[in-house]
Chains A and B, each alone.
Chain A
Amino acid sequence: MDERVTLYARNLVKVFHTRRGEVRAVDGLSLEVHRGETVGLIGPDGAGKTTTVRLILGLLRRTAGESGVLGYDSMRDPFAIRAATGYIAQRFALPPDLTVQENMRFFANVYGVPRHEQRDRIDRLLAFAGLLDFRSRLAGHLSGGMKKKLALACSLVHNPRVLILDEPTLGVDPVSRREFWNLLNDLRAVEGVSILVCTPYMDEAERCQRVALIAEGRLIACDSPAAIRRQVAGELLECRPSDVRRAKALVAELPGVLEVQTYGPSLHIFVDRADERRAAIVAALEAAGIRCRGMRRIIPQMEEAFISLLRRRQEREHA
């Protein structure tokens, strides 16, 4: 196997048997993370992100396929994987009635960090996470952002070479989110840690070296953020029509229009050449009695790219 691959999944399948029938939460997913790389697992709620990382850690039994970390198989050597991996679960909850320091000590011991190394390492990590002053505070009394940083510090206490983070910034304010991502970037760049991070936030995808877009348990695309954005055909126009639903149906039929997406009150229109088509679209809408404000050209972001790729995939399947 490729030396640089620290984490992989190959045709991974997980079927849950529930009372209401089978749920294919992960459906033939393949994925690789290389050393010193941050890969974002991006997808809407229910896409199968959490299930994927649980399979990789051996917390769930896979239905088919393969996965492993650092050469260990998820099913055969789960404890070897867990010893070498740092993990923040989506519902990460540290024991709230232990202090910051006690939590760090607990995880240091659980991960087998030698006692004489614990003090220095804990101090270093608390400084890294900006928690030195909160050492003796109960974890349950920390703010949301600080909890996540403590979680990160705890998951790094054994110097893992692989880090798996499941929506680590869920419910965290934008400033703390930025700080958190700066910490992750330091880890990757300075320490060479491989990071797999799940998130539903498209803007966080931009901070990854590569992103894997998934929906309904399947991989839609896996590439660098820039390359994914480039996969979207055409140019993008945005406007706010007075009747979004009617406007969408109408615009979709116009010549040169490739795809139309709605974002709340806004319409995102992919066209072959923006400057040529803009006037025709405005005219067509007004002829139908729909007022159209703020028509402008914008750069496609990850979110538009994701929706566009998802749609193309569905069309291909139905064809």
Chain B
Amino acid sequence: MIDLQRLRAVLRKELTQLLRDRITLLLIFMMPLLELFFFAYAVNLSVDHIPTAVCDLSLDVRSRDFIDALVASGYFDIAEYAAGEADVIAALDEGRVRAGIVIPPDFAAQVARGQGEVLIILDGSDTYSVQAAYSAATAIAQHHALDLMVEKLRRQGQTFELMPVESSVRVLYNPTLDGLIFIVPALIAMLLQILTVNLTAQSIVREWELGTIEQLLATPIRPLELILGKLLPNLIIAAVALVLIALIGFVGMGVPFRGSVLLFLFLSLLFAISGLGLGLLVSTVAHTQNEAESITSMLMLLSMLLTGFIYPREPMPAIVRLVGDLIPLTYFVRIVRGVVTRGVGLTLVWQDVAALAIYAALAMYLAARFFHLRLD
């Protein structure tokens, strides 16, 4: 079915064109790096002042001290004072606050004995705040020689797990790194998706715009050869870019990488293929570079909002979650947070890996199916 001479001809053409366009090539590699920096720090800075409900059952100097320390850290804003634990939970449930702190009645005495305990209740659905609040509270508690009891509110279908305790202990005194831990792996995934989708969509749409596509279709080139010839060079570029951004993120920015590098690379490849497939699909509906750009910008926006990259998906309405399910990043964000941040193996993320594999296969199939074999 596939003729190697023709496939090689398309491959050589694509590679020559890619290498000849130095500026574009430079942009392809520089853009993700810049985006990684800006995005990581921009997003990182925006997480503090978590609205918090405080239930101070002790009401003495020690507990005031502790509450002042929480506020002074900048991570917590006291939104309301609650009379009891139940009120704190109600405030969390109603979404008025995102963290709750309960100080027991005999707090001062406990501290005096060197075994004080504070209960911190976190909204488990708001993963980002949870992590930031958790580490901030832990750090402050340490100063007060307190043990922290953490309790999460589990919303329906909530599967979030805090990082293993031993790992969070390591970043106790550097709470901001938690932001990077949360954002960088997912950001790398996001950049990989943007790259693969854009490269593919643009490389095909450009042929439409230049008018070269009719000439190509009028030769004996089979659609599959044309598609493969365009995708393989893009896959190589995506692989190089991935290694580059991953090096910057994990080595340069010091974000810990806890899982298997090999597994990460392998799954990234699968993810890249699904991105290429999605790019192909974009090219079957867009016939100008402008149209393609509009679609990919839209896709980027949806990816930021709906995939769990920044905002947790659990509270979203089912229909909105479904839209997120159409974006490969949704699966890969969970995979990457599992494999890279929590260091888990394939067994714990296999569902998302399977979903991603099905996605990649389906996107390729549909794209090949709807690729304009004819001009009408």
Interface string of B216-258 (1 = CB under 8 A from A): 1111111000000000000000000000000000000000000
Q: Are A59 and B374 CB-contacts (below 8 A) given A112-B5, A112-B6? A: yes
- Chain A residues near B214 (CB, 8 Å)? 59, 89, 91
Most buried by A among B6, B21, B218: B218
Cross-chain contact of B220 among A61, A82, A94 (Cβ < 8 A): A82
Q: A98 within 8 Å of B by Cβ?
A: yes
Contacts between the two chains (Cβ within 8 Å), count = 75
Choose the segment among A33-41, A101-109, A267-275 that binds chain B (4+ C-beta atoms closer than 8 Å). A101-109
Q: Assess the A93–B211 pair: CB atoms within 8 A.
A: yes
- Residue interface bits B1-23, CB-to-A below 8 A is 1, else 0: 00101101110110011001100
Q: Provide the bound-state CA to CA distance between A91 and B210, in Å.
A: 8
Shortest Cβ distance from residue A225 to the other chain B in the assembled complex, whole angstroms: 28
B161, CB-defined interface residue at 8 Å: no
**Does B211 contact A92, Cβ atoms closer than 8 Å?**
yes
**Contact partners of A64 in chain B: CB under 8 A:** none
B219→A96 contact, CB < 8 A: no
| Contact indicator B374/A61 (Cβ below 8 Å) | yes
CA of A243 to CA of B76, assembled, Å: 88
The reply to whether A112 and B375 contact each other, CB–CB distance below 8 Å, is no
Residue of A nearest to B6 (CB): A110
Q: Which of B3, B9, B218, B376 is within 8 Å of A106, CB to CB? A: B9
Indicate whether A83 reaches chain B with its CB closer than 8 angstroms: yes
Q: Please, which residues of chain B bring their CB within 8 A of the CB of A92?
A: 211, 215
Chain B residues near A93: list those with CB within 8 A: 210-212, 215
CB-CB contacts below 8 Å: A45-79 with B: 54, 57-61, 79
Known: A111-B220, A112-B6. Is A98-B13 also a contact (CB below 8 A)? Answer: yes
Bound CA span A71–B221, Å:
20
Question: Does B218 contact A110, Cβ atoms closer than 8 Å?
Answer: no
Whether the Cβ atoms of A110 and B374 lie closer than 8 Å is: no
Please state if A94 and B215 are interface contacts (CB–CB under 8 Å): yes
Which bracket fits the contact residues of A? 20 to 34
Residues of chain B within 8 A (CB-CB) of A112 are 3, 5-6, 220
In whole Å, how far is A263's beta carbon from the nearest beta carbon of chain B?
32
Contacts of A106 in B (CB 8 A): 9, 12-13
- Give min CB distance, B19 to chain A, whole Å: 10
CB distance from A148 to the nearest CB of B (A): 13
Query: How near does chain A come to B252, taking the closest CB pair, in angstroms?
Result: 34
Chain A min CB distance to B207 (Å):
9
A60 touches B212 (CB 8 A): no
A109 to B216, CA, bound (A): 12
User: Which of A94, A96, A109, A110 neighbours the largest number of chain B CB atoms within 10 Å of its CB?
Assistant: A110
Given contacts A79-B220, A89-B214, A109-B9, A95 and B376 within 8 Å (CB-CB): no
Q: Given contacts A87-B215, A106-B9, A110-B9, are A16 and B376 in contact (CB under 8 A)?
A: yes
Q: What secondary structure prevails in chain B residues at the interface with A?
A: helix
- Shortest distance from the beta carbon of A24 to any chain B beta carbon, whole Å: 14
Count chain B CB atoms within 10 A of each CB in A61, A91, A95, A107 and give the residue with the most: A95
Q: Which A residues touch B10, using CB under 8 A?
A: 110
A97 contacts partner chain B, Cβ-Cβ < 8 Å: yes
Closest to A59 in B: B375
- A105–B215 Cα distance when bound, in Å, is 15
CB of A59 within 8 A of CB of B215, answer: no
Give chain B interface residues in 177-221, CB to chain A under 8 Å.
210-212, 214-221
Q: How far is the CA of A7 from the CA of B257 in the complex (A)?
A: 65
- Chain B residues with Cβ under 8 A from A95's Cβ? 13, 17, 210, 212
Q: Nearest chain B CB to A165's CB is how many angstroms away?
A: 12
Q: Which of B5, B17, B374 touches A109 (beta carbons < 8 Å)?
A: B5
Q: A58-B374, A112-B3 are in contact. Are A87 and B218 (CB under 8 A)?
A: yes
Given contacts A59-B374, A87-B215, contact A97 B20 (CB under 8 A): yes
B residues within 8 A CB of A59?
A: 214, 217-218, 374-375
Partner of A79 from the list B5, B212, B215, B222 (CB cut-off 8 Å) is B222
Instruction: Determine the distance from Cα of A73 to Cα of B17 in the docked complex, in whole angstroms.
Output: 35
Report yes or no: A82 in contact with B219, Cβ–Cβ below 8 A: yes
Determine if B13 and A60 form an interchain contact, defined as CB atoms under 8 angstroms apart.
no
**B219–chain A nearest beta-carbon distance, Å:** 5
Complex Cα gap A88–B375 (Å):
15
Which residue on B lies nearest to A164, using beta carbons?
A: B218
Pick the residue among B16, B20, B218, B222 that contacts A89 (CB under 8 A): B218
Determine whether the beta carbon of B376 is less than 8 Å from that of A83: no
- Among residues of A, the one whose C-beta sits closest to the C-beta of B5 is A109
Cβ contacts B357-374/A at 8 Å (1 or 0 each): 000000000000000001
Cβ–Cβ < 8 Å partners of A89 in chain B: 211, 214-215, 218
Residues of B in contact with A (beta carbons under 8 Å apart): 3, 5-6, 8-10, 12-13, 16-17, 20-21, 210-212, 214-222, 374-376
Residues of A within 8 A of B (CB): 16, 54, 57-61, 79, 82-83, 85, 87-89, 91-98, 102, 105-107, 109-112
> Can you give 10 A-B contacts (C-beta < 8 A)?
A59-B375, A61-B374, A89-B218, A91-B214, A95-B212, A97-B17, A109-B9, A110-B219, A110-B221, A111-B220
Closest 10 A-B residue pairs measured CB to CB? Answer: A109-B9, A91-B211, A93-B211, A87-B218, A83-B220, A89-B214, A93-B210, A110-B219, A93-B212, A60-B376
